[in-house]
Structure 1
Amino acid sequence: MGEDRIEYIRKLMAESQLSDFPKYVRCLGLDLEVHKEVFWSDTSRWVAERLPPMIGKNVLEIGCGCGLIALFLAKNGASHVLATDITTNALDNTLANARRNEIPNITCIKSDIFSNIDQYTKFDRIIWHMPSTYVPEDFEIASMIEHSSFDPGGFLLDRFLRESPRHLAPNGAIMLGYNVSRNKSVITDKLEQYSLSHRRIADKKFKPDSMINLHLYELKPIVGGP
């Protein structure tokens, strides 16, 4: 990922914070407020609309942002959604939107991917629309909202793929939204290493930024894998 591209993304995120907050949005039947330093993008709506039905499922969302995906699933049939994020701003925002929409079957906790997830709790579905702009390992995150876009060293993707199966219930599945623009095989190249099968559910190139080529995958542990 070139320095010009990194600076371009940083500029877009900085510009997104210049308006007054909170912002108010009507999306997928939800009345949402978006707080300062919390990620909001049409890509999240696209992911939410293309997830398979999760009626009766116990769901974990990593990186909940303002809560759009978690609340959409909780409102439309999931038995319970555990929404996590690395920033307290996002958690507070998701809780505010749960109250705003009177959605009770959601819990929020702060967690760096799976660091604070109870090892004995298993989920039918694990979802992450993850930050997928690769930056060097020593890259310094300059603001909370940058957690939504940058993956220093690519370690977030590796951690997620390695640790997800430990938190799945039998017959569970992982739903991963990822911008593959830098490398179209970045996900599939790693799956054998982590004994995961994959099915691409949907994909879309977003304009005007042709560098956003979002793929939505369903991943499942391979039976008999390590």
Structure 2
Amino acid sequence: MAESQLSDFPKYVHCLGLDLEVHKEVFWSDTGQWVAENLPPMIGKHVLEIGCGCGLIALFLAKNGASDVLATDVTTNAVENTLANANRNNLSNLTCITSDIFQDIDRNTKFDCIVWHMPATCVPDDFQIVSVIEHSSFDPGGSLLDRFLRESPYHLAPNGTIMLGYNVSRNESFITDKLKAYRLSHRRIAEKKFTPDSMINLHLYELRPLMDGS
């Protein structure tokens, strides 16, 4: 990850009909494009994206029919990058704030869809994040996943859905057991192995809270 930050910034990318700039210490990879391409249509929906990085997914949804998109990230670098890209692409139906998952999101605001392309690597509880860019790739002890699954239903509108891009690596039962524990139904809508050894084996899930008695 340190090596990825040695080149000149900003970088400029044309992707999914968007002109993007990518700032230093902000996440960018082909996995984000894959998630955006495989999301269901969001026409007319109020959407929340957690962990927006440079804004690719949020901007793609805002450009392609979402009524409005709130993008969030734990790092100010990513928020500034997403806002710059919204301006670059003349998108007025997107806002972006700094938030540690749901920490700074009004619980009274409900969304038709919540999207998170999660950090790809679960690391031990005592793993120390030492650089800004590492927030985009590491989930110490799976604590971010637990917080997201526990809190997401409180921010959903009736009949709302959660779209989770998750690296199952070689152990899909880790995520499916979590979904069962948090009473979330799941449907895998897409999957792709990004590395031959399956260390990045991305699944895109559609999640819904189970009703009492389900």
Which bin holds the TM-score, normalised by the shorter protein? over 0.9
Please state whether the residue corresponding to 1:38 is helix, strand or coil. coil
Shift of 1:153: 1.2
Look up the match of 2:138: 150
Shift of 1:214: 0.2
Asked if structure 2 preserves the Cα contact closer than 8 Å seen for 1:195 and 1:225, the reply is no
Cα distance per residue 1:104-123 (max 9 Å; x no partner):
00111110000001010000
For 1:100 and 1:218, how far apart are their aligned partners in 2? 30
Cα RMSD (Å) = 1.3
Q: How does 1:103-182 map to 2 (within 5 A)?
A: 103-182=91-170
Look up the match of 1:55: 43
Asked if structure 1 preserves the Cα contact closer than 8 Å seen for 2:120 and 2:200, the reply is no
Q: In the alignment, does 2:33 pair up with 1:45?
A: yes
Asked if structure 2 preserves the Cα contact closer than 8 Å seen for 1:34 and 1:93, the reply is yes
Matched AA of 1:48:
A
Shift of 1:225: 6.3
Matched AA of 2:36:
A
Q: In the alignment, does 2:90 pair up with 1:95?
A: no
Q: TM-score, normalised by structure 1?
A: 0.92
Residues 210/187 of structure 1: CA separation in 2 closer, same or farther (3 Å cut): closer
Q: In the alignment, does 2:34 pair up with 1:34?
A: no
Cα distance per residue 1:13-71 (max 9 Å; x no partner):
11211110000000000000000000000000000000000000000000000000000
Asked if structure 2 preserves the Cα contact closer than 8 Å seen for 1:200 and 1:218, the reply is yes
Q: TM-score, normalised by structure 2?
A: 0.97
Asked if structure 2 preserves the Cα contact closer than 8 Å seen for 1:202 and 1:216, the reply is yes
Matched AA of 2:72:
T
Asked if structure 1 preserves the Cα contact closer than 8 Å seen for 2:195 and 2:201, the reply is no
Shift of 1:208: 5.7
For 2:56 and 2:191, how far apart are their aligned partners in 1? 19
Percent identity (aligned)? 80
For 1:93 and 1:107, how far apart are their aligned partners in 2? 12
